[in-house]
Amino acid sequence: MTKPPLDILLCAPRGFCAGVVRAIDAVEKALAIHGAPVYVRHEIVHNKYVVESLRRKGAVFVRELDEIPDTEAPVIFSAHGVPKSVPEAAAARNFLAIDATCPLVTKVHREAQVHYKRGRRIILIGHAGHPEVVGTMGQLPEGVVTLVETVADVLALEPAEPDNLAFVTQTTLSVDDTQEVVDALKGRFPSIAGPHKEDICYATTNRQGAVKRVAPQVDAMIVVGSPNSSNSQRLREVAEREGCGLVRLILRAEDIDWSLFGNLRSLGVTAGASAPEVLVEEIIDAFAARYAVTVESVSTADESVFFPLPRELREQAAE
């Protein structure tokens, strides 16, 4: 039988960002220098495929440092950042600690610390329990940072010093949702201080921009990524908001529910910042087995950002 035609619009940019590349490279470089095992606190990035690939190479993932035996092996902190208590605990045990926190997350940490030194109380816009939020709040003493997720949270705020506030944001949020919360903060607290440059990272912004372009043009959209990936979930939400009737967040081709994708003429495909391109290709190949596929790339931004490896690994490689 003749395959039905299917036009695939492939979002660009998509997939790995510079911070994710740096974090994965940090684990692989540590393995190359020191051999296995290399311990990693939490998932280095939120993608099961990536984590399992690194595990096969000798990375050992733990939730907390107390799961690690006394060792001379490297201990790597994930791209999401960690509270100050974590490197302090690592130093107390003489671990060879390597911080793979994304530099754009570190920027948010520094902003919060500067505001605190200037005597301000800090509002953090983010998702409760996300590792990045836990790490950012953990840069400062307990009670200094207040987390808000929604406009309703902002309206419920009763700060002790309403004229002495600052805000920072998680880097992987929805650009539109975050702007609504920022507008609400500025409306309630006109003197609130904010970042000089947007905290939401370039990769999150660019990937959401590409989805906004593609989603209204297609019958369905697939976001390649893991369910626990914040930026991937935000891409799904953006596609839905832009009017695409069928949007699914999918990790692997084997996860596709083909009963949902029966009568397509057009499909949009993007990938979260922690999803490797091999998974995008796998999903396109799965559709190509069932449809006569044509693929068109829809580009909305050029990316050339590069972050060097963590200093500890650069020094070790030089030695």
pLDDT digit string, tens, across residues 244-282? 999 999 999 999 999 999 889 999 999 999 999 999 999
Element (H, E) at 85: helix 85-92
Backbone angles phi, psi at 239, to 5 degrees: -60, -40
Give the CA distances from residue 178 to residues 66, 154, 174, 269, 317, in Å, rounded to whole numbers and listed in that order.
36, 12, 6, 24, 40
**Do residues 290 and 1 make contact, with C-beta atoms less than 8 angstroms apart?**
no
Quote the pLDDT of residue 188.
97
Question: Of 93, 190, 88, which is closest to residue 139 (Cα–Cα)?
Answer: 88
Q: What is the pLDDT of residue 196?
A: 80
- What is the tens place of the pLDDT at every residue in 24-46? 999 999 999 999 999 999 999 99
Contact 11, 268 (CB under 8 A): yes
For residue 43 the two structure tokens come to 């998932």
List 43, 132, 237, 242, catalytic entry: 132
% residues pLDDT > 70 (the chain): 99
> CA 138, CA 126: separation in Å to the nearest integer?
14
Residue 132: active-site member: yes
Give the CB-side neighbour count of residue 302, counting CA atoms within 13 A.
1
Please list the ranges in the chain whose pLDDT falls under 70: 317-319
Percent of the chain at pLDDT > 90 equals: 95
Which pLDDT does position 317 carry in this prediction? 65
Q: Which domains does the chain have, with CATH numbers?
A: 5-16+202-299 (3.40.1010.20), 18-102 (3.40.50.11270), 104-188 (3.40.1010.20)
pTM: 0.94
